[in-house]
Structures are given as C-alpha cells and as structure tokens.
Amino acid sequence: MTDKKAALPGLLQNAWPWILCLIGVDYFSSLAYQPSIAFESAGYLAPLATLVVVLLTFLGALPVYAYVAGRSPHGQGAIGLLERLVPGWFGKLLIVILLGFAATDFVVTRTLSVADAAEHLIHNPNPDWQRMLDYLGSAEQTTYFLPRTLGERIRVYWNRQLVVTILLSIVGFIFWALFRRGFTGKVIKFSAVVVIVYLGMTAFIVGSGLWFLCSHPEFVRAWWSKLAQGHWHPQGQFAAPGAWWYMAAICLLSFPKMALGLSGFELSMVVMPLVKGHVSDLPADPRSRVRHVRQILLVAASIMALFLLGSALVVTTLIPPEAFTTSEKAANRTLAYLAHGGVLIDGNSAVEVNGSFGEVFGTAYDGIAIVILCLAGASVAIGLRDFVPHYLHRLGMELNWALKAGAILYIFNGINLLVTVFFRASVTAQRGAYATSVLTLISGAAMIAVLDIYRRRQGRWFQRLPWSFVVISVIFLSAALAAMLAKPDGLLIALGFVHAIVISSILSRAIRSTELRFGGFEFKDAQSQFLWESLKYLEFPVLIPHRPGLETLDAKEGAIRERHRLAPDTPVVFVEAILGDVSDFYHQPLMEITEEGGRFVIRVCHCASIAHVIAAVALELSKVGKPPEIHFGWSNERPIEANLNFLLFGQGNIPWMVRDLIRKAEPNPERQPPTVIG
C-alpha cells in the first residue's frame, strides 16, 4: 500500500505553471520578512550571506528534492521513500519523528506568516487605522470585561501585535474554511492571481531600488567601504580590515537563521499529484510529471534567488540600520517600508527612489502582502490535511472517525492559537522554531536520498556512497543542530508532536487491530491465481493453518484428523502464513498455491499479521458456496502475552483473533466461516 496514491482526494491535475503559483504562495511570501532577517543576522554582510543561501538552495536543497521527486512521485515525499527503505517499528519511529517536524514546519509557517501580516498592518501609517489599533491594543479593557485575576494575567500578553495577529488568524481560518475541499481549481487560480500581483509589486519595488543604486553608486560604494574596513555590523562589530575569510565565515554561520524561505520545497512534494503529466505516463512511473515538478523546483528557486539577492542589496544599502530594530517600521517588512516612502540612509524619503512610492502604493502593497501571508498559512494547513492525517491513518495511527471528522485539523488549529500566544505573536521569537523544522526536514530528505542511492548501487561501500549528497546532508544537518542549540523552541514543539503522535498511535493501533486491514491478494504466478479461483468453486470444507518448520504436513494432518474427528475422505487445504513487516497496518499479501502429496497448500507471504491473513483467506473462500471450517490447535499462551504478540509481532492467540476478525468483517452469521479449536 506504500506510495500508490495517484492524486489527492477530489482534485483535478493542472499544468505545472499553475502549481508553481500554488507553491509560490508559501515560498514567495517569505520575501515579506526575509530581507529583514538577513540584515539582522549578518548586518552589512546581508547580500553576501543571502548569496550563501542561494548557493545552498541550488547546490543542496534543489538536487535533493529533485531526486526525491523522482523516487516518490505520488505525494509522499522523503517520508514515503523512508518507509520503503527502513521497514519495521524502527522505520515507523523515524517516520513519526519526521512527521513531528513536518507538523512543526506547517504550524509555525502559519503562525509566523500571520504574525508578519500583522506587522504590515500595524505599521501602516494611516492615522485613522492607528487610532483603531491604539484602542484594540489597549490592555485596560481586559480588566473591564474580565474578572480581575484573569484580566491581570491576560494583560501580560495583550498588545497590538498579538491582538491583530489573532484577528488575522480568524481571517486565515476563513480562508481555510473556504478551501476546506483542498487545492481545487478555484483555489489554485486564486493563488495564481495573488502570487502574480505580489511578485509584480515586489519586482517594482526591488527593480526601482536597483535602478536607483545604478544612478547613485555612492550608496553601494559606502556600503562596500564599510565592509573593506571590517565594519560588518551596525552595532559596532568589526573585523580586521580586509579580513574577508572571517566575514565569509560569518556569512556561513548566518545560514541557519536565514533558511526560513526553504519551506516551499516540502510543500512541493505534497502537491506533486496535482501536476499534470503526459497521457502516456504509467501510473507507477509518471516520468513527465516528475520532469514538470523538477521544472517547478528550478523555476521557483530561480525566481526566489533573483528577488532575494536584489532585495538584500537594496535594503542593506538604502535603509538606515536603526530602522531594522523591532521597534521601528522596517523590521520584518523592509520592502513595505520602502513602498511607503520611508526614510533612507541619507535622510531623504524613499520617494526619491520612485515617485510612485507613498501612502497609496504602500497601503496597496501592505494589502497584497497580508493576503499572500494569510493565504500561505491556509495553504500549508491544506497541505497538512492532505498529508499527515492520511499518512497516519494508513499506518493505523489515526482512528476512522477522527479522519472523517478532520479532528486532527481542529487540533492543529488550536495548536496554532497556543503557539501564537506562547510566542506573543512575535516574528522574531518564532524564527528559530521555523528554521529548525525546515532545516531538519531538508537534512532528513538528504540523508534518505543518501541511503536510497547507497542501496541501489553496486560495489564497495565508498563507491556506493553519493558523496555530493553526503556533503549536503552534513551541511544541512549541522545547520539544523546550530538552529536547535540557538533556539530549542522548534525542537521542543516537534518533540511535543512526536510524543502526541506516538501516544495516539498506540491507542489507535490497539483499537483498530480488529479491522481486517486487507487490500487484496497478489499472486506469485498465473498458476497460483488459477488455482485460487478454482478453490473458490470446489468448496473445500476444511482449512488447516500450518506453521512451517514445526511439523510436517503429514503429521499436522494426522493430528488434526484424529483430534477433530475428521473423516479420511474429508478434503483439507493447508494455509501457511509467513510474516513480513509486522509494523505495517494495511497489507496486500503475496499468494502461492501448490499441490503437494495430493493436498493443496496456500502459502502467503509479506503478511503484517497471521490472524488477518487466515481470516481473509477464509472470508474470500466463503463468497461462493458453503463457508469452510477453520481447524486450529490450541494455544498455550497467556492472554496478556498473546495480545502483545498480536499487536507488536502479528502472532499471538491466532484462533481467537481469527474468530473475532471474521465476526466483525462478515455480519451475516450464515456466511461466517466457523472456527474449530481442539
């Protein structure tokens, strides 16, 4: 059942440029805060540090996800590839850990995006709007409307940023409600309009800034002079004049703080099934879809690179350093600051850069930035809905009613609110958690790619290793560890998700253990399939489960006939079930039927549970004619031991479980195969 979902539920496939815009809602929206983060992280080195981000995008993240797209083209991404590479409970644990970081990525993407939208709204200079914000941000009303003790506690958190962020979160919930059917055609087209308008206005701002710098090269010379003198940070931090190696190291060390914009790669894997391929594509190998997804990744990274490099140079050379502090108007919204005609580093207004800048254009840019940031939060919520719950349900880690009701999404919406309040809606405070989740997912994808290539190649170990991907893994893993050490919030949130998933998974697997969990049989050869269809109509009255290696078929048959008083002429069929990956939930076993010593033997391998396979064989043979009897020997296992063996290792008290599975799968008593234990 792994990685065979061809498309997300209820959605039509679209040409790749449309899906590019859908991914761009998340990817390109980070332009709203990325230039500010670059300056806060690297100071006057921001353009050079941004160049490091661009190089690692093209030389690291892009080739990794291009490879993952080719190996897992049905929307499961690196986690789906990991499931195939590492079977068993250890593999499932690794999957749960990555799902925890994926959930953290999606949740913090939403909370940070909405918080940054609030920054754009709060710093809009319109006086009427500012008076309204003064009223909303006043904490006095909390003690007026609420009990004194509760009001005092809320006052600690109450401010303009938190109030506006929560209000915008409600708008984001409205987006999510409108898009609850998923990435439909209307959602994709609306996203395309928003992305095109946003990129167009952003290109107008960045292009105007670059043209102004070409006309006034003194700004660039002044910036370069500071770097040549070793003055790389506005807070008076210096290096030795000409110490370019030292400053290069600073650029590299700034990467973990600036890696926020790479989360779009993970969303691109989730929406892969939406990309239209060629009609000649095979369902198991959609090559043209993979090619189109790789085009999306390349084009998106190229567009982002141009905007990141251009915006970093413009804001670093034109905006005064003090405007980047959290108390000033350029923090987390540098391009909007220029669009409003903010003060430049020489004391003049940004209207000098372009006469169109000012309150009208700036307000329009704030508006489109707020829309794309809120839409980014809604899009990752949809991605979360289409990825995590279905993945957990397929692994038996989510209850059926919870999947149908979308319970996990309501839980995540509640978590979004808690995260917003915990971080007080601060963009700066959430950046560490965001960077941790993004870098962990990329380094995880890189290591999974290394393992996959290593297993596919032949030769000695050093010849099998893809050394380029090894280097990429080391770089991104080091960056992830650095982000965790600097700000452990992301790690703590991810561990919280992991613990919650593990606990709910144990309960869900236990409750759902009596589902049939059967996806149909596969056959080793045509002869086995022919014999299977024949057995359905021959109506063999007795099935005897047999464990290979304990005793011969002759001894087993003799014992069963004696203890169960079966006549010598009563035909029997032996069923041998061979366990595969018992940590799988749904399974599609491989059947082989042979005739040995005048008796038929059904051998079924790749089983997740012996009891489930025996029940499935009996139920399938019951669809035509009289249901067969299943004759077991008695088990001496203790009840608790038997239940644990059943849940963890697919064995346990098999006769009792087969009887229970049959009763739940077939409500008609007349069609239930009887179980006989002797």
Alpha-carbon gap, residue 178 to 43, rounded angstroms: 41
pLDDT of residue 210: 97
User: Could you tell me which residues are beta bridge partners of residue 343?
Assistant: 349
Alpha-carbon gap, residue 188 to 288, rounded angstroms: 21
- We report the CATH number of the domain holding residue 474 as 1.20.1740.10
**Residue of 618, 606, 608, 557 whose CA lies nearest to 584:** 608
Please indicate, yes or no, whether residues 67 and 106 belong to a single structural domain of this protein. Answer: yes
Please indicate, yes or no, whether residues 578 and 655 belong to a single structural domain of this protein. Answer: yes
Buried-state track 438-457, b at ≥16 Cβ within 10 A, e below 16: bbbbbbbbbbbbbbbbbeee
In 553-609, which ranges are continuous DSSP H helix?
A: 553-564
> Where is pLDDT greater, at 429 or 9?
429
Percent of the chain clearing pLDDT 90 (strictly above)? 32
Q: 565 — phi, psi (to 5°)?
A: 55, 50
246 found inside a domain: yes
The string of pLDDT tens digits covering residues 77-87 is: 888 889 889 98
Please indicate, yes or no, whether residues 413 and 547 belong to a single structural domain of this protein. Answer: no
Neighbours of 367 (CB within 10 A): 15
> Which of 511, 532, 555 lies at the terminal end of a domain, its last residue?
511
User: Could you tell me which residues are beta bridge partners of residue 605?
Assistant: 590
Please indicate, yes or no, whether residues 501 and 520 belong to a single structural domain of this protein. Answer: no
596 found inside a domain: yes
| Kind plus residue range of the DSSP H or E element containing 576 | strand 572-579
As given in the structure block, the two tokens for residue 587 are 């399974």
Q: What is the identity of the amino acid at 314?
A: V
2 found inside a domain: no
Which of 64-73, 236-245, 311-320 has the lowest average pLDDT? 236-245
Alpha-carbon gap, residue 5 to 360, rounded angstroms: 48
pLDDT of residue 10: 44
Q: Give the structural domain span for 600.
A: 515-677
- Res 146 pLDDT > 50: no
- Res 144 pLDDT > 70: no
The string of pLDDT tens digits covering residues 514-552 is: 888 888 899 999 999 998 888 887 777 888 888 887 778
In 395-466, which ranges are continuous DSSP H helix?
A: 400-405, 407-422, 427-456, 461-464
8 found inside a domain: no
pLDDT of residue 608: 87
HEC string of 106-164 equals: HHHHHHHHHHHHHHHHHCCCCHHHHHHHHHHCCCHHHHHHCCHHHHHHHHHHCCHHHHH
Neighbours of 637 (CB within 10 A): 16
pTM: 0.84
Q: Tokens 């296992």: give the residue.
A: 637
As given in the structure block, the two tokens for residue 109 are 């993407």
**Residue of 431, 433, 443, 371 whose CA lies nearest to 34:** 431
- Res 234 pLDDT > 70: yes
Most confident of 101-110, 365-374, 382-391, 499-508: 365-374
Alpha-carbon gap, residue 234 to 223, rounded angstroms: 11
Please indicate, yes or no, whether residues 530 and 487 belong to a single structural domain of this protein. Answer: no
Angle between helices 88-122 and 77-85 (to 10 degrees): 170
Percent of the chain clearing pLDDT 70 (strictly above)? 87
Angle between helices 610-621 and 526-538 (to 10 degrees): 60
Which of 274-278, 368-372, 394-398 has the lowest average pLDDT? 394-398
- Res 326 pLDDT > 70: no
pLDDT of residue 583: 86
User: What is the per-residue DSSP string for 478-540?
Assistant: HHHHHHHHH-THHHHHHHHHHHHHHHHHHHHHHHGGGS--B---EESSHHHHHHHHHHHHHT-
Cβ pair 633, 606 in contact under 8 A: no
37 found inside a domain: yes
pLDDT of residue 563: 83
Alpha-carbon gap, residue 196 to 179, rounded angstroms: 20
pLDDT of residue 145: 47
- Name the pLDDT band for 459 (thresholds 50, 70, 90): confident
CA angle (373, 161, 408) in 5-degree steps: 55
Provide CB contacts within 8 A for 644, sequence distance 6+: 652
Neighbours of 465 (CB within 10 A): 15
The string of pLDDT tens digits covering residues 340-391 is: 999 999 999 999 999 999 999 999 999 999 999 988 877 777 766 667 777 7
- Res 155 pLDDT > 80: no
Neighbours of 228 (CB within 10 A): 11
Could you tell me the sign of the dihedral formed by the alpha carbons of 631, 634, 638, 639, in that order? positive
Alpha-carbon gap, residue 272 to 156, rounded angstroms: 44
> Where is pLDDT greater, at 313 or 74?
313
375 found inside a domain: yes
Please indicate, yes or no, whether residues 131 and 272 belong to a single structural domain of this protein. Answer: yes
Cβ pair 305, 54 in contact under 8 A: yes
pLDDT of residue 48: 95
Most confident of 22-36, 48-62, 72-86, 184-198: 48-62
Number of domains in the chain: 2
What's the half-sphere exposure (Cβ side, CA atoms, 13 Å) at 470?
8
- Name the pLDDT band for 240 (thresholds 50, 70, 90): confident
User: What is the per-residue DSSP string for 243-283?
Assistant: -HHHHHHHHHHTHHHHGGGGGHHHHHHHTGGGB---TT-BT
> Which of 511, 540, 564 lies at the terminal end of a domain, its last residue?
511
Please indicate, yes or no, whether residues 337 and 193 belong to a single structural domain of this protein. Answer: yes
Neighbours of 300 (CB within 10 A): 22
Please indicate, yes or no, whether residues 506 and 565 belong to a single structural domain of this protein. Answer: no
pLDDT of residue 1: 40
Please indicate, yes or no, whether residues 211 and 74 belong to a single structural domain of this protein. Answer: yes
> Which of 493, 511, 529 lies at the terminal end of a domain, its last residue?
511
- Name the pLDDT band for 482 (thresholds 50, 70, 90): very high
Q: What is the identity of the amino acid at 282?
A: L
Please indicate, yes or no, whether residues 337 and 449 belong to a single structural domain of this protein. Answer: yes
Alpha-carbon gap, residue 6 to 73, rounded angstroms: 9
Alpha-carbon gap, residue 436 to 446, rounded angstroms: 15
Please indicate, yes or no, whether residues 329 and 428 belong to a single structural domain of this protein. Answer: yes
pLDDT of residue 635: 66
pLDDT of residue 171: 72
- Name the pLDDT band for 566 (thresholds 50, 70, 90): confident
10 found inside a domain: no
> Where is pLDDT greater, at 5 or 219?
219
Measured between alpha carbons, how far is residue 494 from residues 407, 425, 497, 561 in Å?
A: 19, 19, 5, 57
pLDDT of residue 7: 41
Q: 126 — phi, psi (to 5°)?
A: -55, 125
Please indicate, yes or no, whether residues 398 and 356 belong to a single structural domain of this protein. Answer: yes
